[in-house]
C-alpha cells in the first residue's frame, strides 16, 4: 500500500473528501459490510476485488494489490503527480474528474464500436491484408497484431458494405473504448482520400501495436499519429510497442501507464505533426517521462513513406531517421 501523505494540505483533502465519492466516478460501488466494493478501475477485473473504506480513508484491490488514500487514487488513475492530484481534488485544476457511464445509460457509440469489433474477423486473405502489404507491412507483422481486424461495413450512411481495416482503441487500462476504420476497395486501395472514420471514445486512448515481446512491459513505447506509420515503425525498429494516437491532435491526450518512463514520439513531417509532438513532449516531460522527439528527413512526409523508400533502395531499412532528444 502506498505511503500516506502527511502535509497539512493532504490532511485537509483526506478529511473533507470521502474516498468513495471520488472512486465512484470511476467504478460502480456497492455496500459490502462496513466497506464499499466494486470492480477495480486499475485492471481488467472480472469479479469485484476493489474495496473502499471511508472510515480509514483507504482503498485496496485484492487482485492487482493497488492501494492507498484518495490522493494516491487520483495520482494512479489520472497518472498525475502529487501537486496536480491535490489541485484536481481541491477543484483548482482544468481537468475534470472523469465520470463512468451510468449502467442504465451506456455510451452507445462505444457500445457500437465494441459490437463491430466483436463481429470483425482476421485480416488474413482480405483486402486489408492487400492494403497493408502495399504499404510495406508483410503478413508476418500483421499476424502479431491482436488489435487489428477486418469487417465489411457501411460507409457514411450508404447501404453498400465496404471492406474495412478495423483497429481497436484501448484506454490506459486496456479496455476497448472505440475503433478506427480505414475503408477500402475490394482491390485493397483506400476507398477515398478521407477514408478513415472513428467511432466511440478515441481521445485519451491508443491503438496498441505489438512488437512481439512482453506486452506487459510498457516501460518504453513509441507514439505516433497514424496506423500505417505505427506498423512501419514496428518493421523498421521493432524494439518496443507502438501506440497510435489516431491523429496528431490526439497525441498529447494519450494517457500513459504509470509504468512508462520513456516515450519516443514520431510525428508526421509537417507543421501540425511537429507542433502536436512538441505539445505532447512537454506534457509527458512534466509527468516525469523521458521524451525523445524523432524527426524525419525533410523529403519524407511520414514514416510509411520513409519505409517504402528504404524497401525500394539497396540500403537496409533498419535505420533511424533522426532524433531530437528532450521536449
CATH at 241: 3.40.1360.10
pLDDT computed for residue 321 by the predictor: 54
In the numeric block, the cell 502529487 is attached to 82
Considering the domain architecture, whether residues 198 and 210 belong to the same structural domain is answered as: no
Low-confidence ranges of the chain (pLDDT < 70): 1-7, 91-107, 212-217, 313-327
Nearest-angstrom CA–CA distance, 194 and 294:
26
280 lies in some domain:
yes
Between the CA atoms of 132, 173, 264 and 275, what dihedral angle is there, to the nearest 10 degrees?
A: 90
Nearest-angstrom CA–CA distance, 24 and 316:
53
Nearest-angstrom CA–CA distance, 178 and 203:
9
* Residues of the domain holding 59: 8-90
135 lies in some domain:
yes
* H or E stretch covering 23: helix 19-23
214 lies in some domain:
yes
- 202, 237, 269: which is the final residue of a domain? 202
pLDDT computed for residue 4 by the predictor: 42
Considering the domain architecture, whether residues 23 and 139 belong to the same structural domain is answered as: no
Considering the domain architecture, whether residues 243 and 303 belong to the same structural domain is answered as: yes
Helix (H, G, I), strand (E, B) or coil at 227: helix
Considering the domain architecture, whether residues 41 and 131 belong to the same structural domain is answered as: no
pLDDT computed for residue 51 by the predictor: 94
pLDDT computed for residue 120 by the predictor: 95
100 lies in some domain:
no
3 lies in some domain:
no
Cell numbers given for 150: 477486418
pLDDT computed for residue 250 by the predictor: 87
CATH number, residue 61: 3.90.580.10
pLDDT computed for residue 246 by the predictor: 87
Contact present, 77 and 41 (Cβ < 8 Å): yes
Q: How many CB atoms lie within 10 A of CB 125?
A: 11
- 33, 61, 90: which is the final residue of a domain? 90
pLDDT computed for residue 7 by the predictor: 64
Considering the domain architecture, whether residues 168 and 117 belong to the same structural domain is answered as: yes
Specify the number of domains making up the chain.
3
Helix (H, G, I), strand (E, B) or coil at 89: helix
pLDDT computed for residue 97 by the predictor: 56
Considering the domain architecture, whether residues 194 and 134 belong to the same structural domain is answered as: yes
211 lies in some domain:
yes
212 lies in some domain:
yes
Considering the domain architecture, whether residues 72 and 110 belong to the same structural domain is answered as: no
- 178, 202, 226: which is the final residue of a domain? 202
95 lies in some domain:
no
Considering the domain architecture, whether residues 135 and 173 belong to the same structural domain is answered as: yes
Amino acid at each position: 500500500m502506498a505511503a500516506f501523505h502527511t502535509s497539512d494540505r493532504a490532511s485537509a483533502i483526506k478529511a473533507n473528501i470521502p474516498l468513495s465519492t471520488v472512486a465512484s466516478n470511476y467504478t460502480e460501488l456497492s455496500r459490502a459490510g462496513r466497506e464499499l466494493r466494486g470492480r477495480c478501475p486499475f485492471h481488467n477485473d472480472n469479479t469485484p476485488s476493489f474495496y473502499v473504506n471511508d472510515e480509514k480513508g483507504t482503498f485496496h484491490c485484492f487482485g492487482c494489490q493497488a492501494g492507498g488514500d484518495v490522493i494516491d487514487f487520483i495520482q494512479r488513475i489520472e497518472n498525475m503527480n502529487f501537486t496536480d492530484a491535490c489541485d484536481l481534488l481541491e477543484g483548482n485544476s482544468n481537468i475534470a474528474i472523469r465520470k463512468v457511464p451510468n449502467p442504465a445509460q451506456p455510451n452507445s457509440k462505444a457500445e457500437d464500436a465494441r459490437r463491430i469489433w466483436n463481429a470483425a474477423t482476421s485480416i488474413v486473405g482480405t483486402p486489408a491484408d492487400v492494403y497493408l502489404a502495399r504499404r510495406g507491412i508483410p503478413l508476418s507483422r500483421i499476424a502479431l497484431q491482436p488489435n487489428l481486424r477486418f469487417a465489411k461495413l457501411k460507409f457514411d450512411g450508404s447501404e453498400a458494405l465496404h471492406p474495412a481495416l478495423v483497429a481497436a482503441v484501448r484506454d490506459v487500462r486496456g479496455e476497448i473504448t472505440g475503433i478506427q476504420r480505414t475503408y477500402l476497395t475490394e482491390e485493397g486501395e483506400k476507398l477515398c482520400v478521407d477514408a478513415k472514420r472513428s467511432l466511440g471514445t478515441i481521445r485519451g486512448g491508443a491503438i496498441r501495436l505489438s512488437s512481439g515481446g512482453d506486452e506487459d512491459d510498457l516501460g518504453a513505447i513509441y507514439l505516433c499519429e497514424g496506423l500505417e506509420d505505427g506498423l512501419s515503425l514496428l518493421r523498421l525498429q521493432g524494439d518496443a510497442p507502438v501506440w497510435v494516437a489516431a491523429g496528431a491532435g490526439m497525441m498529447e491526450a494519450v494517457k500513459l501507464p504509470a509504468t512508462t518512463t520513456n516515450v519516443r514520439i514520431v510525428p508526421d513531417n509537417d507543421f501540425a505533426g511537429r507542433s502536436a509532438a512538441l505539445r505532447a513532449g512537454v506534457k509527458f516531460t512534466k509527468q516525469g517521462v523521458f521524451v525523445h522527439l524523432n524527426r524525419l528527413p525533410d523529403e519524407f512526409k511520414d514514416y510509411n513513406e520513409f519505409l517504402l523508400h528504404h524497401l525500394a533502395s539497396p540500403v537496409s531499412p533498419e535505420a533511424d531517421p533522426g532524433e531530437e532528444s528532450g521536449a
